[in-house]
Each structure stands twice: as structure tokens, then as C-alpha cells.
Chains A and B, each alone.
Chain A
Amino acid sequence: MFRTSLYFLLVALVCLGLADIEVTTLDPWEELRRIGVGFLTPDFPIIYTFRDALLNTVTFAFCGISLGVLFGSGLAFFFRFAPVRLFCAFIRAIHEIFWAFLFLPIVGLNPVCGILAIAIPYAGVFGKVYAEIMQEADQTPLRGLPQGTGGISRFCYGILPVIYSDLKNYTSYRFECALRSSAILGFVGLPTLGFHLETAFREGLYSEAPALLYAFYLLIASLRYWLKPKLVVGYVVASFALISTDVHVQWSNITRFLTYEILPWPMRRDGFLDGSGDVSFALGGTWRWVVEILQTEVLQGVWNTVVLTQVVLVGTGLFTLLFFGTISRHFVKARSSRGVAHYFLIVMRTTPEYILAYAMLQLWGPSMLPAIVAIMLHNGAILSYLTGQNANLVQLPIDAARKKANRYFFEVLPRVYGQFLAFLFYRWEVMMRESAILGILGIYTLGFFIDSAISDDKLDKAVFLILITAVLNIGIDTISQTVRRRLRIATGAVFTYQQ
């Protein structure tokens, strides 16, 4: 375990050397000061002006997640079949923003785009996690059921009650994620919170942006007061009712996209030039098209994505090892100090990494630095929280070392290290997705090239690059699983709904 960690550290150091890190803005400190002042003088009335965006953020999340739960549950029942597992891995390997990119040309800037962009990857996640929860559930109650019991009754009496609270906890955690996803979808133009956040940051309105962020924190923090199981159905129905007035889908667009626009350009070229719109199977041309994209964009995009991922993977790990102690009773005695640390971590994990990166980009200018810090802070906060919780479960002997450093290295760290690594590798794939997506902000990871292809209206290229991103992500997921199995470390069932 120690040796594996060292290898990863080494790789990350090499990557750090190769990564493009610099501060290009002329006066970053002045910019930082203005942001700091903005956070202290939030322009709260602006929230009222943007109330529709806030409402949209919530309704998109409700509609998206309810569809995700619906399809995810269906997939979970068939998860033992390899094609279903692959399908789930594929749809969750593509980030919400990339899904939105794909739906934009089909349905337009329309709630359907945002809802599907959330629903599809979430269905893949729910399919996997629900299936895992079912697998790990206690099987004893099932043995007590009479032999001839029908499948539905068997499920409702023998399985559902046993896993219900796990499902509920995980799904409500995911709702929090869906709110984040919904908010950042505003950055591609959908009418959610991100839209106004982007404008505020871009135009340097540093009192508006924090007000919107504060509203978002409040929304997440208040979830437990208004997100009651009994009310959920009502919320979902109301959300669908609210968005239904905006929905207009043209089938011709969908067929045109699927049968024409995603075909590689060489296949459409002749028909386009002579005005007939015919499709030809120009194999040679298509091959050259693929090779060219691979050489000019994929190579650089994949390389930068992997470099960034490896740096933030280890960075997140180091952040966690440094900070998990701040919420652990073994290191900080005062409950109030632990509370402060706890809130800091919650705020960090609640802020979508995309927004963090965007804000830092304004500070430091385009390089990998904003992306590294943003992904590290977001994921590090989540892992510090989990690892700290874990450390609190450890019962130290009464004669444990008094000196904190000794206690950390000899008593606590060895006991939580395995699970810490499991958490970290579990999020490897998430970090890669984030690394790819942050290319949209101007660093040359895969997202940059996908974003450019979309702006140039080259949907064929965008789809091809998104496929490459998905394959890369599935690859990392597979490696992560192998590493975890090799090291015999597991996150355990608790993780799935506590993360």
C-alpha cells in the first residue's frame, strides 16, 4: 500500500513538472482583494432579481434526478449482465456538461436539454450503486420467505425494506449533487444559477457572484428541512408542471442530428458541396479525418487530461492527509474548533468545482493552476470529511501516544489509511471527468477541444471527442478497480451514501 502510494506520488511529481502552471494576470492580488471585498459585501437583493434562475436550478434537479432514479432502478435489476454494466459505465463516463452539449443542437436551449443532461449520467450512477446496495444487503430475511412467493412480493417484502434507508440516504445525497450539476449547466447557457454566476464573474461584479453563491449554500444547507420523503412526489410533479410550459421538441431536429450531423464530415462533404445533402461512404476520407483529429487534438487533449488528473489525484490525497485531523476528536479537543473546520469542509464541497475553477481563472489567468486548485479543494473537502469521520470511529487505547505527531503516524493514520486510499481511488474517475470538463475554461484538456468543436458547429468532431473521453474514463475506472482489488481495500457500503 505504501509502495503504491509512492509510485503515484512519483508520477504526480513528474506530471507537475510537465504541467503548464503559471500566473498570467497582471495583478492577481488586486483581483483577489476585490473578490474578498465582494464576499464581505454581498448584494443580496440581486437574489430576488434572479429568483427564476434559483427556481430553475431546483426544478431541473428534481426532474433530472427523478428520471435518473426511474431508469437507474430499471438498470439496477439487470446489472448482473455485462452489456448493462458497460452501458451504465458509458453513460456515466460522460459529464453532464458534455451531455448538455450533445442535446443543445437537438432540442435547443430548453429545459429538456438540462433535464436529460442530468438524468442520463445519473441513471448510470444509480444503476450501479442501487445494484451494489442490493448485492450487499442482508440476505437472511429472504430465507424466511415462503418458496412460491412471486418476484414482486419477494422484492417488496424481502429486499426493499432492508435496503430502503440506504437507497433513501444515497438518493438524497445525489440530489445535492444534482443541484450542483443543475447550477453549473447555466455555464453552457441554460437558465440556471450558473448563467448569472458566469456573467457576474466575467464582468467583475464581485458583489453579485457571492450573493448567488450564498443563496446556493443556503439552498443546500436547508435541504434537510424541506426535502422530506413524503413531499418528494409533490415536488417532482410540481417541477414537471413548471417546466412543461417551456418544452418544445422538434422530432425533425432529432432525426437530423442522429442520422446526418453526427456523421464524419468526409461522408457528408460531397452531398454538402453539390447541395443534395446526400451521404457517401467515403472510407478513405473518414479514415484521414479520424487520424487528423487523433494527431492534432486527441493526443494533446488526452495527454493534458491525464497529466491534470494524476496531479489532482495526489494533490487531493495530500490535502486530505493534511486536513482530516482538523475534524477528528483525536487531534482537536475543542468541539467548537472542530465545528469550524467542519463548516469549512462543507462549504468547499458544496461549491461546484467548475465555479471554483472559473473564479480562480479570473484571478490567475489561463493555466492548469486554477483547475488543479479547484479540483483539489472540492474533492479534498469530501475526502477529509469522510476520513475524519472514519478516524473518529477509531477507539484509541487509553495509553495512546500523547504527542499529536506520534498519535497521527502510529495510531490513527495506519488505521484509516486503507480506507482513505479506497476513497481516493474511488474518486479517481470523478477527478478525470472534472479534468476533462475544465478544458472548457481554456486549458488544453479534452473539454477544450470538445468546446471548440461545438462552437465551430462541428458536431461530428464533438461526438467523436466525447466518445474518446468516455473510453478514457472507463479505462481509468477499470484501473482504479484493479488497484483497489490488488491492495484489498474497499470503501464499504457506508461510503456509498455518506460521501
Chain B
Amino acid sequence: MYDLDNLSVAYEDAAVLQDISLQIKAGEKVVIIGPSGVGKSTLLRKLYELRQRESALIHQDYALVPQLSAFHNVYIGRLDEHPTLHNLLNLLKPQKKDLEQIRPIFQALGMEEKMLDSVSNLSGGQQQRVAVGRAIYRSCPIILGDEPVSAIDPHQAGTILQLIVQSAPTVVLAMHDVQLAIEHFPRIIGLRDASVCFDLPASDVDEGTLAELYQGETA
């Protein structure tokens, strides 16, 4: 699915990556970890650009429309698939068919009762769950997520992660919570100094590898 060979990436406004080599096969579930500012977001952005049409992206800043309802924000995930007229109708009055299609996603996210609330009235964690819901509704073969559970409280974060993992064959997330990553994902990639530091099965990641990854960081 992805085959990066000695790739260097530089965006104007983001961290730089140098000589990255890694392969991700279809159906793999991968988490990228590493100190902040190391280029996790840059890598995700590159992966998104490589397979734009097949990917659903969970933005770090959610990219929600605060003035619209949670339902509409999830619906935005498939705006390109519906005819314009239908989109407009749905904006004026949520259509039954779409409501029924999207309701199960809100049930899974544990916020069915908030579905028609305006996003600006939701808490940070709830907004992040809406952003996750949008990516799920988009139903692409790949989900890419930049810190998709960072604002969700710990006892729910696991459930939401599990939901993301089940929602697409291939999942690549950037995360800072290493324990949570190891619990739910089979493969962990560590980034350090703008390149890959380690790429291991979750079971092989131990205190030693982590200490090396975060060396010099005062956690």
C-alpha cells in the first residue's frame, strides 16, 4: 500500500523528514510515536497525499464547522458522493435516510443524544469524537489519524481506538500515548531526529526502546 524508499519531505510550515524508508501493507494497523515536533504529522500528511482518494483523514485540529450540528459535520465526510441538491436539502433539514445511516456511528461513539447539537456547544472530547465519526462515515479503505483520541478521557479512548481500528482495513495513526498504542496496535513505528528510529511489533517495544526514543526529552 505504501512503499517509501529514502524519502525526504519538507513542507513550508511543518517539521522536516529525512531519508524515511518504510512499507505498510494493505490491512495493517500501525501507530507512529515519537517526541513532539519530530514530524509525525508531516509523515501522515505525506501518506495522505500518496493515496488521497482512498483515505479518510482525522485532523489534529478536527477541521469541524463549529456552527453546524454534529450530524452535519459527520455528513461532510461524504459530501463529494452526494449530488449538490441533496447536500443543500440535507443542510436545510436533515434527511431521514442520512439520519438513519449516521445514527449508528453516533451510537458507537456513545453520543447519540448529542447528534443534532451544534458542534460549538460540545466539549473538546465530544468534538474529537465527531471528527472520528466523520472519518468512519467516509468509509475509505484507509484511515489516517493525527492524535485522534488526544482529547478523549482515558477510559473512553480505548473504545474509540478500537472503533477506528474496526472501521477500515488499513489504519495509520500518530499518537503520543504509547501504552494505549501498544494495547491496540500490532505494529509501532518510532520517529526520532526526522527519521525512523525503530519499526517493531508492539510486543517487542519495551522500556529500553522507548527510553532511547525519548532520550533527552523531559516527559
Would you list which residues of chain A between 153 and 190 have a CB under 8 Å from chain B? 153-154, 156-158, 161-162, 164-165
Whether A150 pairs with B84 at a CB distance below 8 angstroms is: yes
Contact A140 B61 (CB under 8 A): yes
B163: interface (CB < 8 Å): no
The number of chain A residues with a CB under 8 A from chain B is: 21
How far does the alpha carbon of A142 sit from the alpha carbon of B64 in the complex, in Å? 8
Q: When chains A and B are docked, how far (Å) is the Cα of A152 from the Cα of B83?
A: 10
**Contact, CB under 8 Å: A145 / B68:** no
CA distance A143 to B52 in the complex (A): 13
Interface of chain B residues 37 through 78 with chain A (CB within 8 A): 52-53, 59, 61-68, 72-73, 76-78
A144-B76 in contact given A158-B65, A162-B67 (Cβ < 8 Å): yes
A146 touches which of B67, B72, B80, B88 (Cβ 8 Å) = B80
Given contacts A144-B76, A146-B138, contact A153 B84 (CB under 8 A): yes
- Contact of A141 with B63 at beta-carbon distance under 8 Å, contacts A153-B84, A153-B87 already known: yes
The answer on a CB contact under 8 Å between A152 and B63 is: no
Tell me whether B63 and A147 are in contact (CB under 8 A). no
CA distance in complex: A154, B81 (Å)? 12
List of B residues within 8 angstroms of A153 by Cβ: 79-80, 82, 84, 87-88
* B91 at interface by CB-CB < 8 Å: yes
* A window 382-417: CB within 8 A of B: none
With contact pairs A146-B78, A146-B80 given, residues A141 and B64 touching in the complex (Cβ less than 8 Å): yes
Any B CB within 8 A of the CB of A275: no
Does B134 interact with chain A (Cβ within 8 Å)?
yes
Known A-B contacts A147-B53, A157-B91; the reply to A140 vs B63 at CB < 8 A is: yes
For the complex formed, measure the closest distance between the CB of B135 and the CB atoms of chain A, giving whole angstroms: 10
In the assembly, what is the distance between CA of A157 and CA of B82, in Å? 13
Are B80 and A156 in contact, with the CB atoms below 8 A?
A: no
A31 CA to B145 CA, complexed, in Å: 76
Nearest-CB distance from A175 to chain B (Å)?
A: 22
Name B80's contact: one of A140, A143, A147, A162 (CB within 8 Å). A147
Does A4 count as interface, using CB distance less than 8 angstroms? Answer: no
Cα-based distance from A146 to B80 in the complex (angstroms): 6
Q: Which residue of B has the minimal Cβ distance to A138?
A: B66
Assess A144 versus B87: contact at CB under 8 Å? Given A157-B68, A157-B72, A157-B79: no
> A145: which B residues are within 8 A, CB to CB?
76, 79
CA distance A144 to B62 in the complex (A): 8
- B residues within 8 A CB of A150? 80, 84, 87
Q: What's the Cα separation between A143 and B88 when bound, in Å?
A: 19
A143 adjacent to B63 (CB under 8 Å): yes
A267 and B181 alpha carbons, distance in the complex (Å): 85
A149 within 8 A of B: yes
A residues within 8 A CB of B53?
A: 147
30 contacts between A and B (CB under 8 A): A140-B59, A141-B63, A141-B66, A142-B63, A143-B63, A144-B62, A144-B76, A144-B131, A145-B76, A146-B77, A146-B79, A146-B80, A146-B81, A146-B138, A147-B80, A148-B80, A149-B80, A150-B80, A152-B84, A153-B82, A153-B84, A153-B88, A156-B91, A157-B65, A157-B76, A157-B79, A157-B87, A162-B66, A162-B67, A164-B67
A-B complex: 9 closest residue pairs judged by Cβ atoms: A144-B63, A148-B80, A161-B67, A141-B65, A146-B80, A153-B87, A149-B79, A149-B80, A143-B63
